[in-house]
Chains A and B, each alone.
Chain A
Amino acid sequence: MYQYNDFDRDFLAERNAQFRAQVERRIDGSLTEDEFKPLRLMNGLYLQLHAYMLRVAIPYGTLNGGQMDVLADIADKWDKGYGHFTTRQNIQYNWPKLKDVPDMLDVLGEVGMHAIQTSGNTIRNVTADHFAGAAKDEVADPRPTAELLRQWSTDHPEFQFLPRKFKLAVTGSANDRAVIKAHDIGIRLLTRDGAEGYQIIVGGGLGRTPMIGKVLREFLPKADLLPYCEAIVSVYNLLGRRDNKYKARIKITVHENGIETIRDLVEERFALLKPQFGGVDQKMLKDIEAQFALPEFKTGSVAVFKDAYHSDPVFRSWADTNLTAHKNDDYSIVSISIKKHGATPGDATSAQMREMAAIAREFAHNELRISHEQNVILPHVHKSHLPAIHARLKAVDLATANIGKISDIIACPGMDYCALATARSIPVAQQIATRFDELKLEHEIGDLKIKISGCINACGHHHVGHIGILGLDRAGVENYQITLGGDHTETAAVGERAGPGFAYDEIVPAIERLVGAYLENREDENERFIDAYRRLGLAPFKAALYPEVKADAA
């Protein structure tokens, strides 16, 4: 993992001291709210529906046990004993007091964490594949690239007032687990003729106008990454619209100007910028890469895993659902579900955080990841430790065997917390999970991605859910629209709207009918919901969602 050097520590301490002074000046009245708001947003502090909210970055989703412990301490000392992991690999605290925030940031700074640029019209937290460094299908670890981008973008003087927010995601695998096609810039590590480089995708994004990113460069040599990204963002900085907030993201800039025009402008700018970098970035990248060396993998018998797998059906179910192949055959990647049936997706208590940190230290080379699907990952676990880990997780309600299943739902905070929300998301997710758990259908249904957003901004990624749910305010009442056929992977697609929305108390029965139609119509249990949808189209699902329309027409 990357360790902060003196420069990083000094920068963060100075930045935190600045913000402390800004908070003091706001409280003593020398700064108005209009003056203070952009400053607090630059430091991740929002004012939500019921309280302030502090959004802390977990760069590329990677943290160690000590950092997770500090996240737990903060939850206990300055919040209500829990934190919320988000779809952009951040953690949000929902109840901080304004005067406490500088202290929270200082404590974070001591373990090399911060909240800088987790809001505002800047380059946001750089996200990456949560299986980075561990996945069997990986070409290279995306995290050194992500860390280089974090250092480059943090406090970048040219990019503090972009037309709109700007999000980067990096993957090192052809199987995209970082949703790179729904980011302003998506970066995929690859090799061509033995040389390392990147595929650069630009102009993806969800929100009001969902767009799938377009390839800007099929192969960018590794050494050109920073000047090329700087060229993209500076072209956008000039060309992006500042007259209309809803047309200000780079996806619209690309859409309105055309990818060819953008490519020409970027290449022109890149030619100017490239000589200015002079190789210092590549030297930094080398140093960073050395810090992401793989842990020393343990060798030894995995018999205890095999025994437990054969003798304990609960463990077997968990192992079948929550483990992913590791590049070392004696190891597994463990996904810890933060989605117990009926719980708030992504919320972990301080006790759960501390137990995950302890497990990471004892059994998993002290590494943890946060996934964009709001779960926690132990990336490197020797299989002999799996039964012990499962038992420990079970004791703190973290052993739900539902990764990738119908109850592994992404849900934004929605109107339970968010000032922008138009409807609630969390209770809908809770009710769907509880309902399908009661029906004991979860494993019969198989892989299914439900993603819920409480407003058009799509923090809950509803557009790319196999089933997407969007909560809206229709004439003063919560109303939920369903989209079908979305895909968040390398074959990314925006879902299609199924028809009129459903009232709050109708949405869960509607999902039940939809899933019923899938079970009736699938070829066999190997055909996933999304595959059945692609084969059959909207019609059978629409008929299940709107039976009364069918009855009327008959």
Chain B
Amino acid sequence: MSKPFTPKVVTANALLEGDVVYLTADDQWSRNLSDAEVIEDAAHGDLRLLDGSSQPDVVVGVYLIDVALEDGIPQPTHFREEFRTRGPSNYNHGKQSELV
């Protein structure tokens, strides 16, 4: 049996600002991971990755990340993606200060 599918989200950086962004179900890019569309199967993941990549005038470096659902809200499973949701740990700046 193959491994169970880990839920995923499409992420990238915004072309103009460089900000970390996530693809929403209505093809928008949100700065907030909680707005992201959570992808539940591999085929849909491939499709959404293509959708995200087809907006090269808006975003750069599109890829899929693993998430876990906590109370229905996606949370990153890897520490790198956790840092991307909030910004550097040495100062209170970046997303952690801007998104609150």
Contacts and interface: CB of A to CB of B under 8 A. Distances in A.
A415 B83 contact: yes
Contacts of A430: 90
Contacts of B56: 29, 32-33
A185 B80 CA distance: 35
B80 A415 contact: yes
Contacts of B93: 80
A47 B61 contact: yes
Interface in B74-97: 77-80, 83-84, 87-91, 93-95
Interface string A78-117: 0010000000000000111111000000000000000000
B60 A49 contact: no
Contacts, number: 72
Given A98-B16, A415-B80, A477-B79, A50 B88 contact: yes
A330 interface: no
A51 B19 contact: yes
A344 B93 CA distance: 14
Given A97-B17, A98-B15, A415-B83, A33 B60 contact: yes
B23 interface: no
A493 B11 CA distance: 42
Interface string B3-31: 00000000001011111100000000000
Contacts of A27: 15-16, 57
A415 B90 CA distance: 11
A97 B83 contact: no
A130 B72 CA distance: 55
Contact of A97 (B16, B57, B60): B16
Contacts of A415: 79-80, 83
A34 B1 CA distance: 38
B78 A476 contact: yes
A32 B57 CA distance: 8
B94 to A, nearest CB: 5
Nearest to B15: A98
B57 A98 contact: no
B84 A49 contact: yes
A426 interface: yes
A97 B18 contact: yes
Nearest to A417: B88
Contacts of B78: 476
Nearest to B79: A478
A458 B19 CA distance: 26
Could you say which of B18, B57, B94 has the most chain A C-beta atoms within 10 Å of its C-beta? B18
A416 B90 contact: yes
A416 B57 contact: no
A51 B83 CA distance: 13
Nearest to B13: A47
Contacts of B20: 49-50
Interface string A456-480: 0000000000000000010011100
A416 B86 CA distance: 10
A449 interface: no
9 contacts: A29-B57, A32-B56, A47-B60, A99-B16, A347-B90, A473-B79, A473-B80, A476-B79, A477-B79
Interface of B: 13, 15-20, 56-57, 60-61, 77-80, 83-84, 87-91, 93-95
Instruction: Identify the 4 closest CB pairs spanning chains A and B, nearest first.
Output: A416-B88, A51-B18, A52-B18, A29-B57
